[in-house]
Structure 1
Amino acid sequence: MKPARPLLAAFALLAALVGMFAQAATPPPPESQVYYQIFFRSFRDANGDHIGDLKGLASRLDYIRQLGATTILLTPLQPSPYYHNYFATEFKGIEPAYGTMDDYFAFIRAAHAQGLKVYLDQEFQYVAEGHPWWRDAVCKPESKYADYLLWKDAAHCEAEPFLNKAKWEGYDGRNIGIAMVNLSNPQVRQYFRDLLLYWTDPYGDGSGRDGVDGLRIDHMMDDLDHKGLQKNLFADFWTPIFQALKARRPALRILAEQADWGFGTAWLTDGHADAVFAFPLRGALVSLDKRQIVDTIRATDKATPAGKTQVIFLENHDVDRYMSEVHDDAAKARAGAAIALMLKGDPLIYYGQELGMRGMQPKNAGTSGGVPLTDAIGIPVREAFRWKADLDAAGSATWYRRNQHFWDARFNRSNDGVSLQEEESRPDSLYHWYVKLLALRHARPEIGGGEQRVLCDDGSAVLCVLREQGDRRTLLLVNLGRAAARPSLGSALPSGATWVDLLDNGKPGAADAMLEPMQVRILGSR
């Protein structure tokens, strides 16, 4: 696929501007990444069955790279009776609808050839009904897999369920069980150690050829589901596995989803993860309240040990789409994007976020008159990526059409203006805003790897964040209020500093100039 000409033009223009007022653009330092998270089933279909697949993803790697992402974060690929592919029936395998193991390794090679890293999402604290461990051991205490799962009875006929719910609705509408794996079993621990070594170093020679560059650990906990049945997992289960992985692949990174959605300090220290998700900051960015954002930035910095990272995000596969959170307000969507992409940490873009895709999970699920409480309630925030204006165009992964309620209630409609095809041709689109912001992030090393200071800590509505590295500075100014306002920077900035407007052709810019409501200004100085 040839790069889109508007996109190349945007990059060429920005590169020329950066050359006018800064040193030559350089890629972010190794420790800095821009994640692009893909809900796999919904991204790109290559064979006409409307299900996202490995060949479809491989065919669009140039889009991800040109957007400005450095790292692809995938939802699970293992076979599962659930559409999201969590709760596997096979750990060392690929969902048949997504392709084969050969397709998987071809995708890894193609991503690496484009300079993109790949992170796999791993969730193996549970298995779904149909997994060989469960199938072989149910009501058979003498099975070799009998102690691979936790059981509620001595006869091993009733498995310990996930979150105390015995059954969940699967992809085909059947109620399917989910059981807790016995993570205290030495054989189980060895199995998962070897499994992750396989994904990260398939040839076992330490080269990492065809291996992933990082892992996301889903629902990571020290006491699984707070049941008191699997305790001290940080020290006894996760840490030894992470040590074995890094002994083989020192540059490998572990991204933990902290199960409590808090600041994640314990996961970074006791759990020895390299990064966690900045959930509290995401809540603040949804509010677009200056005081809340300032307080949460500082709390996040305080909670993050040296050498560890927070992943800054507006959206992921478990929360509502940001454009819906801000009630389709394009100015607010642009302001939220600018803050998230300029803050200290590794930003994450959820597929379609850059287009302003909409989606909200039903708030009345499981109540009288509401939709059933099943995994399907997540479909509205996992709809097909919008490649074309026509939702049914070739390549569109509209696998959920079979689910009548969520097809009728979908948020994406043909020719609604929210597609790559429609937004590429509009210079003022949200898509081009993301391209510009990400190009700035890569061009300004202080954004990717510098320190940050919150300025304008007053009662005004103007958020002021200074990113610094050596004598390089980038200043983010966002008016989060409803009236025009001027930043109150006082003596916080170096005297005599010369600023240029990074969003306005590198023209001279004043740090104390008036800002309209939701206006974003990004200034650069050396």
Structure 2
Amino acid sequence: MKANALISALLLSILTIGTASAFQKKTPVNQEEIIYHIFQRSFYDSNGDLHGDLNGIRQKLDYLQKLGVTAVLLTPLYESVFYHNYFSSDFKKIDPRYGTLADYLALVKDLHRRGMKFYMDMETQYVTEDHIWWTDGINNPASKYSDYIIYDDKEHTKPTSIVFGVNGLLGYDSVYRKITTVNLNSPKVLDYNYGLFKYWIDPNGDGKFDDGVDGFRLDHMMDDLDGKHLMPHLFDTFWNPLINKLRVVNPTIKIIAEQAQWLSLGLDYLDHGGVDRVFAFRLAYSIRAFSKKMLTDNADSTFLATPANKQQIVFIENHDTPRFSFGVNGDVDKLKIGAALNLLLGGVPSIYYGQELGMTGNSATFGPTDANELPDREAFEWYKTDQGKGMAYWYKQKGPHKDTFNSDRPNDGVSLEEEQNDQNSLWNFYRHMIAIRKANPVISTGTYKTLANDNEHVFSFMRYDGNKQFIVAVNLSDKPVTANIIRGLGNKLKIVYGNVMPVTNGSSLAVSLPAWSVAVWAD
């Protein structure tokens, strides 16, 4: 839901921090998940209305398993007038464009039958003027929902603003809706959220969880919502009480926070917010920058500061950011470096739908509207002609922006049809990196260590556990280079990827790397 201005400001404000030598090294939790993050309205349309839907995802589970992913994260499913579904009109209803409750339950059960996990995106901090908390409570202090939202006056005529002081938003289709902030200080709201989240954990209440979520992504989670000081200490008064009660229902549930301050490591969320995982934004920015210094500083700090029983979600793009391919002008070699770092650094990797194809798109400047991120959320490109069954071109149906952008081009080499039979394609590279990840559990179980080397363009690191080691070297330049990598372990290495065999010289490895290349070794 982030505004385009915030994204631009964050991208311009990329910071690095010093080395993390003061942090104690800690071994991450064993985790072999590869998450596939879907903006479902744009994925696959099963019924011909041009909107991606739940049955469309279900029909493409074979595709996801062929790619190698093991978990699915969807953007919100609940009813909303906005296409992204973040500002809800009814949290208990699934957007009918996505399907029915029966469709939802069939998808979740099918995922679980396949050994895959399902994560639901939730943001219950805001509602639109269509929500019953608003319609019944406005101008009515006696309403049973009188303290469910925050008002700026005692007469309840002025629902308060949301982030950035916004009181409403123009949709991509020119439909305007007022939006307000939910009162997370209210015990009734806490109870409501418990009931809502609990339902999605175990919809039929039988305690088996085959029809329930495996976890939640908490969008725009904050301790002091939007920095207004209206609801301070929410970690203590709202989030921890809610999360602790949910863990009584299912102790294995995973809670993922999107930290509101993207440049933060999210350690306060992990230490005090009750969550299991946060998003590694600093790493995402570092990978996008192709900077050895940024990668070194932020990989060290991110992984070594993260508590041993908590995790970072490692990603290079999501529904709120420009596509990675846009930043590298579609350069396949650079796209492959992004893929390798996304999947081999450690943590829990997340792939945004279409990232594996090299889909492009950059946030637009249409003004004060939710249309600005449409180019980052275009239809998944199934076919080389960009036409065919299931294409989710919902955004081309109506609205003033329907003809103002179009990143997909016929026969441009960016589509599943064009890439799946090309062994050198980005799509097949993703499959290869995922297979390497699964074959080397030390990537997730081992300790992270940046490996020093003598070349300013080579980023090298390892994951190790005892004598077990997994080493990666990346040439971040457009020229062939040589480097001596200091590693400190004496085991004999084998080539995992890259056809580059290092020459052992005492405690260092002498390597020659082609331009924009990745090499991987293991013992």
Under a length normalisation based on structure 2, what TM-score does the superposition of the two structures give? Answer: 0.90
Query: 1:513 & 1:501 partners in 2: Cα distance?
Result: 12
Query: 2:387 & 2:330 partners in 1: Cα distance?
Result: 23
Structural mapping, 1:188-267, within 5 Å: 188-261=189-262, 262-267=264-269
2:489 aligned with 1:498, yes or no? no
Structural mapping, 1:300-379, within 5 Å: 300-362=302-364, 365=365, 371-379=366-374
The 3-state SS of whatever aligns with 1:189 is helix
CA contact (8 A) 2:300 2:449 kept: no
1:283 maps to 285
The 3-state SS of whatever aligns with 2:297 is helix
The 3-state SS of whatever aligns with 1:254 is strand
Structure 1 range deviating more: 350-359 or 459-468: 459-468
Query: 1:425 & 1:129 partners in 2: Cα distance?
Result: 49
CA contact (8 A) 2:194 2:245 kept: yes
CA contact (8 A) 1:32 1:449 kept: no
- CA-to-aligned-CA distance 1:36-72 (integer Å, 9 cap, x gap): 0000110110000110011101000111122111110
CA contact (8 A) 1:120 1:212 kept: yes
Pick the structure with more strand per residue. Answer: 2
Query: Runs (4+) of structure 1 moved beyond 6 Å?
Result: none
Residue 521 of structure 2 aligns with an amino acid whose one-letter code is: L
Give unpaired runs (5+ residues) of structure 2. 1-27, 504-508
Query: 2:327 & 2:71 partners in 1: Cα distance?
Result: 26
Give the CA deviation at 1:141.
1.1
Query: 1:171 & 1:128 partners in 2: Cα distance?
Result: 16
Residue 477 of structure 1 aligns with an amino acid whose one-letter code is: A
CA contact (8 A) 1:62 1:114 kept: no
CA contact (8 A) 2:257 2:278 kept: yes
- CA-to-aligned-CA distance 1:120-178 (integer Å, 9 cap, x gap): 00000010110111111111111111111100112111101212111201354121111
Work out the number of aligned pairs and report it. Answer: 488
2:12 maps to none
1:423 maps to 419
Query: 1:64 & 1:217 partners in 2: Cα distance?
Result: 24
The 3-state SS of whatever aligns with 1:148 is coil
CA contact (8 A) 1:445 1:469 kept: no
2:10 maps to none
379, 384, 391: which one pairs with 2:386?
391
Query: 1:200 & 1:67 partners in 2: Cα distance?
Result: 27
Provide the aligned C-alpha RMSD in A: 1.7
Residue 349 of structure 1 aligns with an amino acid whose one-letter code is: I
Residue 449 of structure 1 aligns with an amino acid whose one-letter code is: T
Structure 2 CA distance for partners of 1:417 and 1:459, relative to 1, 3 Å: closer
Query: 1:406 & 1:426 partners in 2: Cα distance?
Result: 32
Give the CA deviation at 1:516.
1.6
2:18 maps to none
CA contact (8 A) 1:388 1:419 kept: yes
The 3-state SS of whatever aligns with 2:303 is helix
2:294 aligned with 1:292, yes or no? yes
1:22 maps to none
Query: 1:299 & 1:30 partners in 2: Cα distance?
Result: 20
Query: 1:228 & 1:312 partners in 2: Cα distance?
Result: 31
Give the CA deviation at 1:312.
0.6
2:108 aligned with 1:108, yes or no? yes
Give unpaired runs (5+ residues) of structure 1. 1-27, 366-370
The 3-state SS of whatever aligns with 1:135 is helix
Structural mapping, 1:14-163, within 5 Å: 31-163=31-163
Query: 2:87 & 2:291 partners in 1: Cα distance?
Result: 38
The 3-state SS of whatever aligns with 1:463 is strand
Give the CA deviation at 1:391.
1.9
Query: 1:306 & 1:521 partners in 2: Cα distance?
Result: 28
471, 490, 507: which one pairs with 1:475?
471
The 3-state SS of whatever aligns with 2:257 is strand
